[in-house]
Chain A
Amino acid sequence: MQHTFVAYVEDKPGVLTRVASLFRRLNINISSVTVGGSERPNISRMTLVADAPPAAGHRIMASLYKLENVIQVDDVGRFSSVSRELALIKVATTPKTRSHIFELANVFRARVVDLAPGSLMIEITGSESKIEGLLQVLNENEDRVLEISRTGRMVMRRGHHTSRVLEALGDVESQNGAASLPTGEALPEEDEIGDYTNESGLPHQKT
């Protein structure tokens, strides 16, 4: 089963190693990890995606909390959430194929961010399945895709149950993912296309 964790960690040297090493020790492959800034100063936010048996979720979370640099962990896969990934895709073009690729990009609400003789670069944001969808049609012509760079998944729970709110409420249980599903508003996914199932198995709420 695919587990998705969001972890708030201290923005210090070596923290990524500690988190990664924990998964390594458990012999669990991290399928994607994204790290960047968060709403708190000097605190980074990580989204970790890993395949592991269902029961491993508790142990992974409990082990993450044993790391001194980890401040908060949320097993977001168990909640209604928004999941996004960004990809840059460089595609080989000829004067003949260029406009066709523009059309494909448009259908997927992707943007062309670089245009050069012989190639162009597409930026696409969305769920993994949407990016897979674009890649699938681009790959119909085998030699067309030259480079792909994907960020991996970033996830945020829906509704107002932000980490800061939970912390202020002292609501440790739902921070830890033990509470029932929060009732976030069902916001439309403006740029969704293709498969509407997110990785946690919960359906996206679409308009």
Chain B
Amino acid sequence: MSNVDRKARLTGAEIIWATLEGEGVREVFGYPGGAILPAYDALRKFPIRHILVRHEQSAAHMADGYARASGRVGVAVATSGPGATNMVTGIATAMLDSIPIVCITGQVGSKVLGTDAFQEVDITGITLPVTKHNYVVTHAEDIAPVLRDAFRVANSGRPGPVLVDITKDAQQATAEFDFAAAASEKLRDHPMLSVSEQGIAEAAELISTAKRPLILAGHGIIHSGAMSQVRALAERAQIPVACTLLGLGSFPASHKLNLGMMGMHGESWVNHSIQEADLLIACGMRFDDRVTGSLATYAPKAKKIHIDIDPSEINKNVAVQVSLMGDLATVLDQLLPRIRTRDAAAWLHSIDQMKGDAAVRDIKNLPDNGHLYAAHVINDLWHATSGDALITTDVGQHQMWEAQYYKHEQPRTLITSGGLGTMGFALPAAIGAKIACPSKEVWAIAGDGGFQMTCPELATIVQEKLDINIAIINNGYLGMIRQWQETFYEKNYECSPIFSPDFVKLAEAFGIRAAAVTTRAEVMSAVETARSHKGPFLINFMVEQEDTVYPMIVPGAALHEMIRRPSSNPLIETASDV
């Protein structure tokens, strides 16, 4: 029976699920506990699948992965106190990457709020800076309106996480439930959003007169669903495209105008192009320090057009000449009729020149020296999956190699913790993504360090019978930490070597099939075994231990001043010598 159209007197607990059902929620990720038990007691009456996690941080990451994979709001549920505080890292991860999730926490009874009751914590106070908004609900009749408002907030404007803290007595009390009447009254846009006719005209003029324009493609393209508009802009005016980490997939990797990823570990020609450009068209990106390098020397020759739905991002890091504050797809729809075709052969040719000898240095063209490099693994995985898998990653070296060597053609096929850089994200995010997209081939790629942060979720995979493949890039170090220690701390590898259990045995203990790979020759066959196996499969790739992600821009250095791989070590360098 659908509860959406039903008007009835329900308990607060029932109202929670009925409202979620009304909002289109079919799956939630959670963990029960005392203060949320009334809600769990009522769950069986509703057509909602509950995925039992092993740690509440993972519940938030799963909701996050679910949202990133599907574009729908992800929902995580936890109890009061430690259940709620455990979610904080997951909430902050979603906040930094603008992901719409709704986190529901139980809270102690309203009569004892503020008394340090058992498992009481001020979770709305704790999460205030890492949520888009949060609520405390102490009355059953407020649950439906607040939850509906939470969905509106999470998914409107610049998306973000919302937390709803519901006291136990509010779950136990009864109230009239009327889903339609509980619709959010506030349907406001940010009042400063403004796309003026003059702004559009100025942007069109800048684009038509630019000699060396560049599109900076960010996560906002995917949020807005502006992939076709960005592509139309790029193709019509022959403007090359550089992607942020979270913008990967917003523009087809194989497109001839796609230069690749920009920033700290972007290929050299991408960053050189930015520094040489005379016009940057920033689409749904926020000039994060990881993509700009030193702001003082960033894109010195370029005028900037910034299109973003969050007015507080305009002129935050980089001063821009034209700002178009609005939904990206809508703005580009207004702009596109003004864009004329133009000849960009000279600019595209000069970017080609910037690539220099990158092709001969490319991993694919290097002889096998018997070592297994992470980049090989990622590149082979890309080949094996025809670039069509949904990949989640943790943070660190493997994440950057993924960004460099797995070519994403479609949006929502790379799910990675960009802004917060959260270790342990990949595995739970993969679970959320697989729940959202059951027919999609999902691979979680994690380092040996990050994997150990959330590996109990292997049990969740088994319990929920999920067909997820896991690739551990195992180098025996916290790889990016080691790389920084190598580069900035005179190879003082303090606390970065990390012991790991035998991941194959670990997986088998959970009932998951697994294999270890130590040579490049084994990579493809292991990947194929994992792909053809019905059910989860874990591969422990024992890769070169002291391998380094290049190119690399030292924090605070200019974008064009990158550290290059020593030429005596002709391995996975793909940057040029320009």
Q: Which of B124, B153, B311 contacts A68 (CB 8 A)?
A: B153
Q: Give the residue name and chain of the B residue nearest to A55 (CB).
A: B315
A176–B128 alpha-carbon span in the complex (Å): 25
Contact pattern, B 306-329, Cβ under 8 Å of A = 1, otherwise 0: 000011101110000000000000
B438 smallest CB distance to A (angstroms): 34
Residues of B within 8 A of A68 (CB): 132-133, 153, 186
Contact A59–B315 (Cβ < 8 Å): yes
Q: Give the residue name and chain of the A residue nearest to B124 (CB).
A: A14
Contact B191–A72 (Cβ < 8 Å): yes
Q: Which of A13, A17, A55, A73 contacts B128 (CB 8 A)?
A: A17
Residues of A within 8 A of B153 (CB): 68
Residues of B within 8 A of A65 (CB): 190-192, 311
Q: How large is the interface on A (under 10, 10 to 19, 20 to 34, 35 or more residues)?
A: 20 to 34
Contact A63–B312 (Cβ < 8 Å): yes
**A172 CB–B CB distance under 8 Å:** yes
A25–B312 alpha-carbon span in the complex (Å): 14
**A62 CB–B CB distance under 8 Å:** yes
Contact A172–B191 (Cβ < 8 Å): yes
**A21 CB–B CB distance under 8 Å:** yes
**A160 CB–B CB distance under 8 Å:** no
Q: Which of B125, B186, B310, B314 contacts A66 (CB 8 A)?
A: B310
Residues of B within 8 A of A72 (CB): 191
A55–B153 alpha-carbon span in the complex (Å): 28
Main secondary structure on chain A at its contact with chain B?
helix
Residues of A within 8 A of B556 (CB): none
Contact A175–B133 (Cβ < 8 Å): no
Contact A21–B128 (Cβ < 8 Å): yes
Residues of A within 8 A of B133 (CB): 67-68
Residues of B within 8 A of A61 (CB): 192
Contact pattern, B 169-199, Cβ under 8 Å of A = 1, otherwise 0: 0000000000000000010001110100000
Residues of A within 8 A of B194 (CB): 173
**A58 CB–B CB distance under 8 Å:** yes
**A150 CB–B CB distance under 8 Å:** no
A9–B544 alpha-carbon span in the complex (Å): 57
**A98 CB–B CB distance under 8 Å:** no
Contact pattern, A 47-72, Cβ under 8 Å of B = 1, otherwise 0: 00000000100110111011110001
**A18 CB–B CB distance under 8 Å:** yes
Contact B124–A175 (Cβ < 8 Å): no
**B129 CB–A CB distance under 8 Å:** yes
Contact B129–A66 (Cβ < 8 Å): no
Q: How large is the interface on B (under 10, 10 to 19, 20 to 34, 35 or more residues)?
A: 10 to 19
A171 smallest CB distance to B (angstroms): 11
Q: Give the residue name and chain of the B residue nearest to A18 (CB).
A: B128
Beyond A17-B128, A18-B128, A21-B129, whether A62 also contacts B186 by CB under 8 A is no
Q: Give the residue name and chain of the B residue nearest to A66 (CB).
A: B312
B486 smallest CB distance to A (angstroms): 33
Contact B314–A58 (Cβ < 8 Å): yes
A172–B190 alpha-carbon span in the complex (Å): 11
Contact B124–A62 (Cβ < 8 Å): no
B538 smallest CB distance to A (angstroms): 40
Residues of B within 8 A of A63 (CB): 312
B170 smallest CB distance to A (angstroms): 15
Residues of A within 8 A of B191 (CB): 65, 72-73, 172, 175-176
A55–B132 alpha-carbon span in the complex (Å): 24
Residues of A within 8 A of B315 (CB): 55, 58-59
A43–B485 alpha-carbon span in the complex (Å): 54
Q: Give the residue name and chain of the B residue nearest to A176 (CB).
A: B192
Contact B312–A62 (Cβ < 8 Å): yes
Residues of B within 8 A of A66 (CB): 132, 190, 310, 312
Contact pattern, A 67-98, Cβ under 8 Å of B = 1, otherwise 0: 11000110000000000000000000000000
B246-273 residues at the A interface, CB under 8 angstroms: none
A190–B326 alpha-carbon span in the complex (Å): 46
Residues of B within 8 A of A55 (CB): 315
Q: Which of B129, B190, B316 contacts A59 (CB 8 A)?
A: B316
Contact A62–B129 (Cβ < 8 Å): no
A59–B313 alpha-carbon span in the complex (Å): 8
A63–B313 alpha-carbon span in the complex (Å): 9
Residues of B within 8 A of A173 (CB): 194
Residues of A within 8 A of B125 (CB): 17
A76–B449 alpha-carbon span in the complex (Å): 52
A58–B316 alpha-carbon span in the complex (Å): 9
B94-153 residues at the A interface, CB under 8 angstroms: 124-125, 128-129, 132-133, 136, 153
A67–B188 alpha-carbon span in the complex (Å): 12
A67–B190 alpha-carbon span in the complex (Å): 10
Q: Give the residue name and chain of the A residue nearest to B157 (CB).
A: A66
Residues of B within 8 A of A73 (CB): 191
Q: What 4 A-B pairs are tightest by C-beta distance, nearest first?
A: A62-B312, A62-B311, A68-B133, A63-B312
A-B pairs with beta carbons under 8 Å apart, 6 shown: A62-B192, A62-B310, A66-B312, A72-B191, A172-B191, A175-B191
Residues of A within 8 A of B (CB): 13-14, 17-18, 21, 25, 55, 58-59, 61-63, 65-68, 72-73, 172-173, 175-176
Residues of B within 8 A of A (CB): 124-125, 128-129, 132-133, 136, 153, 186, 190-192, 194, 310-312, 314-316
Given contacts A62-B310, A66-B312, A173-B194, 17 further A-B contacts (CB under 8 A): A13-B136, A14-B136, A17-B128, A21-B128, A58-B315, A59-B312, A59-B316, A62-B192, A62-B311, A62-B312, A62-B314, A63-B312, A66-B132, A67-B133, A68-B132, A172-B191, A175-B191
